[in-house]
Structure 1
Amino acid sequence: MRIEDYALIGDMQSAALVARDGSIDWLCLPRFDSPSCFAALLGSERNGHWWLGPNGPGERPMATRRRYRDETLVLESEWDTEGGTVRVIDFMPPRHPHPDVVRIVEGVRGTVEMATTIRVRFDYGRIVPWVRRSDGHLQAIGGPDSVWLHAPVPLKGGDYAHRATFTVSEGERLPFVFTWHPSHEPMPVEIDPELQLVETESMWREWVSRCTYDGPWRDAVIRSLITLKALTYAPTGGIVAAPTTSLPEDLGGVRNWDYRYCWLRDATMTLDALIGSGYLEEARDWRRWLLRAIAGRAQDLQIMYGVAGERRLPEMELEWLPGYEDSRPVRIGNGAVDQLQLDVYGEVMNSLYLSRSYGLEPDTRAWAIQRELLEYLEHHWDAPDEGLWEVRGPRRHFVHSKVMCWVALDRAIGQVERFGRTGPVERWRVLRDRIHAEVCDKGYDPERNTFTQSYGSRELDAALLLIPVVGFLPPEDPRVIGTIEAIQRELTVEGFVLRYPLAEDNAVDGLPGGEGAFLACSFWMAEALAMIGRREEATRLFERLLALRNDLGLLAEEYDPHTGRLVGNFPQAFSHVPLIHTARALAKAAESPALTGTHPGLTREAPSGE
């Protein structure tokens, strides 16, 4: 399957990818970052999968059509066959208390012969479990993991898999339920799949009903919001960047990373999108997660954590998995956890400031921790770092990092001025102005009229598009317009924006191979164009980007314009967040032609009455 052939289902603690042919090829339980029990996505079916679809000779048929039920994460896939039409309804209900995957086969027209094959493989496809039957159900056990499959048809074992064929006629509904639990515990209580379907749909529709966005492209915005909500970890409030690991940025290449963790940057940007759409509860939950995760010394702040705030995320390679389309290595953990990325201080301060602007109640401990972070930043803002893109080459003075240091101080000053917090605001103002002056001096190339990726460099960086978005300079500033136009000339491929130039020697990140156009960067370009008054051009780019979504409205991290395929981990929060921001920016630009900041991180974007 291509990456875009997958659908997402989840219960806000984990998620599964369902292929267009009806196979669940990726599922980690009980958490996003747990070892998988289905890993065919990164190997073969022998690494674990669960296929369910029409039976017949030759290759499995692709679903004739599929969709999410309106404003939910309940997936419907339909096949038209010679004998009739069949529908499979896939979803993961809220936990009771263990994770469940429910697949309901529904006869729509005529009679269709169906088949299913299930191979459970724990520990990322490595452990073949011991399987037994109990009261007509299957239990698979391997080390700490146990799953039960409750099936309405008999399953026959063979070749380390279980299979069944059966028929379904119009009006019939046959539910399959897959339940995980710790192997030392007794069999979980069976859920009622039909009742859980009703409750799951109701839960999602109630959540969507709270959305305050009612502008153009509402369907795209709602689907992106649902996707972001699905990437939250409900027990703690953490937010993962994506539910997958090692989907390649370059097919067949080595740029394969584990994104099943909580990056402070990605999480804060996700919150910006949620808060700006009316979801303050998620901000409250995330702030509590943040305070627990970063508690301790400010100098120990990490760029990412586990979903419960874990700090140790050692990176390792799974040599028994061949990788998606032979893209090796398959990695779990993420070595970038030890990097210095100064921009995260600005992202955290901006998000906490935004939460207060939209009405989140004050928290004394939150402000105390922000003061600690600022004190550390005051003494380290001028250090080189690995930057937004987590380069694995030498540290540099990245311009975007310095801009976000400015943002951290600017939002702290805003906390004092707007919300009555106490702090050395005069000292912060002096340092904020010093950083601003330095960036404009050392990070700007007057010959080309553009900001550069790092001090003394001539390279460009798509992150520079955020300079007007965060309020560092107004959009009408000639340096902002010059930077946007330079990135259009030098960093675009077929109209889509790269993160930065990848030279033959890969001097920027020290890794071989290439990558696709980074979708977030392309959305940033559309938003920046809207901010400088080029709304029609921005709208055309935005609609081209919307056309890259798969049939269910989902986006991966990147798009390869040469192969016409989505690449990178999927679905990716970092792609869906700027989709929401850009839709809002274009809607605002349509209301007023005046050049103005549009990002919810700016104080001018706070709700009326603040």
Structure 2
Amino acid sequence: YGEVLDCADQWLRPGRPLQPALWSGLAKLADAAATTWRQPDQGIWEVRSEGRVFTYSTGMCQVALDRAAAIGERLGLSDQVTSWREGAEELRRLILEQSWDEEAQCLSEHLDGGGSLDASLLALPLRNVVPADHPRMAATTAAIAERLSAGDGLLYRYLHDRSPDGLPGDEGAFVLCSFWLVDNLILQGHRERAEELYASLCARASPLGLLSEQIDPSTGVFMGNFPQAFSHIGIIASGVNLARAAAR
């Protein structure tokens, strides 16, 4: 839901026309997000273990409600704007409160706080779900950089011994997660650190400038899908964000 409505919001911002049939479909997605966020799923990583109410998934439902409200407000299209806006704010509050792990001093992978650390939490500020400089998000970013580190700027998505995923085989460092960290460092005002990390990630590309899904931290060998769209989305987005930060 969140991906579609976020794209629609960006598409419509310059004043492009919105067809009634399209708005009807977008409104239905927002209404679905308002209710289905409570349903357990397998999260962004498509784990094979029991479904939970993942913090990332809840965040994307928040995005759906927030963007639907923004579109409706801008175009004066719906009397549901107030309920969508209130729903978005409520989900933001729940994420900051219910996924907070007081002992670990960071947000956790599940909304009930019953999980461990997950690098997908780095995506929350990038979608404007939680401010990057919110104390709890800043603490989470620091925790991910330290506790999920695979060395040399690489990050694991999560730790298998603490977040069983039901999948066989070894886990490499997930390239996109490091680009998410670059973006969070930019948003938190640590541009030099972000530039250094970005340069180190770019240096890992193949002679053709391509990146894989994962990297073996011990050897630097590519793992998983190659080339991987996620990784290239990350390198482009982080490059744009760094350029914008430098221009300010």
What TM-score, normalized to structure 2?
A: 0.93
- What is the aligned partner in structure 2 of residue 484 from structure 1? 141
Structure 2 residue matching 1:468: 3-state secondary structure: helix
The alignment status of 1:390 with 2:46, answered yes or no, reads yes
Q: How many residues are treated as equivalent by the alignment?
A: 246
CA shift, 1:512, in A, is: 2.2
Letter in 1 for 2:69: I
Match of 1:443 among 60, 74, 99: 99
Letter in 2 for 1:521: C
Contact 1:502 1:514 in 2 (8 A): no
Match of 1:513 among 158, 169, 192: 169
Higher helix proportion, which one? 2
Q: CA–CA distance in 2 between the matches of 1:500 and 1:559?
A: 14
Contact 1:393 1:507 in 2 (8 A): no
The alignment status of 1:432 with 2:88, answered yes or no, reads yes
Q: CA–CA distance in 1 between the matches of 2:106 and 2:66?
A: 23
Q: CA–CA distance in 2 between the matches of 1:405 and 1:531?
A: 22
Change (3 A) 1:365 1:397: same
CA shift, 1:418, in A, is: 1.7
Contact 2:92 2:130 in 1 (8 A): no
Q: CA–CA distance in 2 between the matches of 1:491 and 1:360?
A: 42
Percent of pairs with identical residues: 39
Structure 2 residue matching 1:474: 3-state secondary structure: coil
Contact 2:106 2:137 in 1 (8 A): yes
Q: CA–CA distance in 2 between the matches of 1:398 and 1:473?
A: 15
CA shift, 1:563, in A, is: 2.1
Contiguous gaps of at least 5 residues in structure 2: none
- What is the aligned partner in structure 1 of residue 72 from structure 2? 416
The alignment status of 1:566 with 2:219, answered yes or no, reads no
CA shift, 1:358, in A, is: 4.3
- What is the aligned partner in structure 2 of residue 584 from structure 1? 240
The alignment status of 1:348 with 2:8, answered yes or no, reads no
Match of 1:551 among 191, 207, 210: 207
CA shift, 1:365, in A, is: 1.7
Q: CA–CA distance in 1 between the matches of 2:85 and 2:183?
A: 28
Q: CA–CA distance in 1 between the matches of 2:197 and 2:40?
A: 34
CA shift, 1:475, in A, is: 2.1
The alignment status of 1:404 with 2:60, answered yes or no, reads yes
CA shift, 1:461, in A, is: 0.8
Q: CA–CA distance in 1 between the matches of 2:163 and 2:116?
A: 11
Q: CA–CA distance in 2 between the matches of 1:578 and 1:420?
A: 34
Q: CA–CA distance in 1 between the matches of 2:19 and 2:157?
A: 37
Runs of at least 4 residues off by over 6 Å: none
- What is the aligned partner in structure 2 of residue 207 from structure 1? none
* Residue-by-residue CA offset, 1:27-60 (whole Å, 9 max, x unaligned): xxxxxxxxxxxxxxxxxxxxxxxxxxxxxxxxxx
Q: CA–CA distance in 2 between the matches of 1:385 and 1:467?
A: 18
Letter in 1 for 2:209: G
Contact 1:559 1:565 in 2 (8 A): yes
Contact 2:59 2:95 in 1 (8 A): yes
Structure 2 residue matching 1:589: 3-state secondary structure: helix
- What is the aligned partner in structure 2 of residue 540 from structure 1? 196
Q: CA–CA distance in 1 between the matches of 2:49 and 2:131?
A: 32
CA shift, 1:507, in A, is: 4.9
CA shift, 1:383, in A, is: 1.3
- What is the aligned partner in structure 2 of residue 335 from structure 1? none
Task: State which structure, 1 or 2, has the greater radius of gyration over its C-alpha atoms.
Answer: 1
Structure 2 residue matching 1:467: 3-state secondary structure: helix
Match of 1:378 among 15, 34, 51: 34
What TM-score, normalized to structure 1?
A: 0.39
CA shift, 1:423, in A, is: 4.0
Contact 2:37 2:53 in 1 (8 A): no
CA shift, 1:574, in A, is: 0.7
The alignment status of 1:499 with 2:157, answered yes or no, reads yes
Q: CA–CA distance in 1 between the matches of 2:176 and 2:222?
A: 13
Higher strand proportion, which one? 1
Q: CA–CA distance in 1 between the matches of 2:102 and 2:246?
A: 32
Structure 2 residue matching 1:493: 3-state secondary structure: strand
Q: CA–CA distance in 1 between the matches of 2:29 and 2:205?
A: 38
Q: CA–CA distance in 2 between the matches of 1:480 and 1:440?
A: 8
Q: CA–CA distance in 2 between the matches of 1:417 and 1:577?
A: 30
Letter in 1 for 2:150: V
Change (3 A) 1:507 1:443: closer
Structure 1 residue matching 2:126: 3-state secondary structure: coil
